[in-house]
Amino acid sequence: MDPQVLVIFGASGDLAQRKLIPALYHLYKGNFLPEQFAVLGVSRTGYSDDDFRKEVFWENTYIDGGDKDEAFADMLFYQAIDTLSGEDYKKVRQRLEKLDENRKTAGNYIFYLSVPPSLYPKIPAFLAAEGLNNRKKGWKRLVIEKPFGYDRESALKLNKELQQYFLEDQIYRIDHYLGKETVQNLLVARFANGIFEPLWNRNYIHHIEITAAENIGVGKRGGYYDHSGALRDMVQNHLLQVVAHVAMEPPTTADAVSIRNEKLKLFQSLRPIGESEVEKYVIRGQYIGASIKGERVPGYREEEEVDENSTTETYVALKFFIDNWRWADVPFYIRTGKRLPTKATEIVVYFKSPPHHLFRNELDLLNMNNQLIIRVQPDEGMLLKFGMKVPGAGFKVKNVSMDFHYTDLTEADVPEAYQRLIIDVMKGDATLYARGDSVEAAWQFVDPILNAWKNQNNIKLYGYPAGTWGPEVANKLIDGDNVSWRNPCSNLTDSSDYRLL
Active site positions, annotated: 238
Q: What angle do CA 437, 439, 445 make, to 5 degrees?
A: 105
DSSP E strand stretches across 132-236: 140-145, 171-174, 205-213
Give which of 311, 317, 350 is closest to 470, Cα–Cα: 317
DSSP 336-350: EESS-SS-EEEEEEE
What is the spatial distance between Cα 127 and Cα 257, in angstroms, rounded to a whole number?
Answer: 27
What is the spatial distance between Cα 335 and Cα 322, in angstroms, rounded to a whole number?
Answer: 17
What is the spatial distance between Cα 369 and Cα 92, in angstroms, rounded to a whole number?
Answer: 59
Helix (H) or strand (E) holding 261: helix 256-268
Give the number of C-alpha atoms closer than 13 A to the C-alpha of residue 438, restricted to the C-beta side.
26
Contact 6, 77 (CB under 8 A): no
**Terminal Cα-to-Cα distance of the chain (whole angstroms):** 44
- Could you tell me which residues come within 8 angstroms of residue 60 by beta carbon, excluding any fewer than 6 positions away? 17, 21, 22
Helices (H), 30-180: 49-53, 70-73, 89-103, 122-129, 152-162
What is the spatial distance between Cα 443 and Cα 357, in angstroms, rounded to a whole number?
Answer: 42
Give the number of C-alpha atoms closer than 13 A to the C-alpha of residue 356, restricted to the C-beta side.
1
